[in-house]
Amino acid sequence: MTLLPDRKHLSQCAPACPSLLLLNARSLLPKIDELRIISHIRSPDVICVTETWFNDSIESSLINISNYNVARSDRSYRRGGGVAVYLRQNISFVIVPEIFELSTNADFLALDVQSMSILLVCVYIPPSLSADTLQSIHAHLVNTIDAFLLGKTILQRDCRWRHESV
C-alpha cells in the first residue's frame, strides 16, 4: 500500500532523515481511521497525503490524528486534489506561503520544519497538466526554494526505501 523506510537503513540517515509515510488517498475522510491505525503502528515523523479531497466544510477535528499536528491545503475550486501533512507534535514547523504563489491546478503545501532544518514540500500534480505547466511548476519551485534556502545549510542523505505492505 505504501513505501515505508527500512528502519535499519533509516538509522544510517539519522538525525537528518525523518521517517516519512506518503499516501495518495483519493479521499482521505472515509479512510482516516485506517490512517490513524497505521500512524499508531508505524509512528512516522511525517505523513504526507495527496488527493485528500478536503474542502472548507471538513473541519480539522474530523481528520486529527493523536500526537500529530496537521497542515493542509484544500482544493476549493472543484472536487478532488488537496494535500495534507501530519507532523509529530514535538516537531515545530511554519507554513511557507511563497510556494503557493503559482496559479495552477497543482496543490502545494510547504513547511519549514525548523526542528529538523528541512524544507518539506508536498505536491499533488494532476495527470491532466500539460508539459508546459509542469515545467512552469518546476521552475517556480526551484526558484522559490533556492531563494528560501539562501544562507541555510542543506543536508542531503541517501536513504534506501523498500516496499512493505501494511
Lowest mean pLDDT segment, chosen from 53-62, 68-77, 105-114 = 105-114
pLDDT tens digit string along 114-123? 777 788 888 8
Task: Check residues 105 and 130 and name the one with the higher pLDDT.
Answer: 130
Q: How confident is the model at residue 21 (pLDDT cuts 50, 70, 90)?
A: very high
The pLDDT value recorded for residue 4 is: 46
List all residues 6 or more positions away from 133 whose beta carbon is below 8 Å from its beta carbon: 104, 105, 106
CB 12 within 8 A of CB 5: no
Total domain count, the chain: 1
List all residues 6 or more positions away from 114 whose beta carbon is below 8 Å from its beta carbon: 92, 93, 94
The pLDDT value recorded for residue 54 is: 94
- Of the ranges 61-65, 114-118, 121-125, 136-140, the best mean pLDDT one: 61-65
Q: How confident is the model at residue 163 (pLDDT cuts 50, 70, 90)?
A: very low
CATH number of the domain within which 147 lies = 3.60.10.10
pTM: 0.77
Average pLDDT, the chain: 78
Question: Residue 107: which domain range?
Answer: 2-164
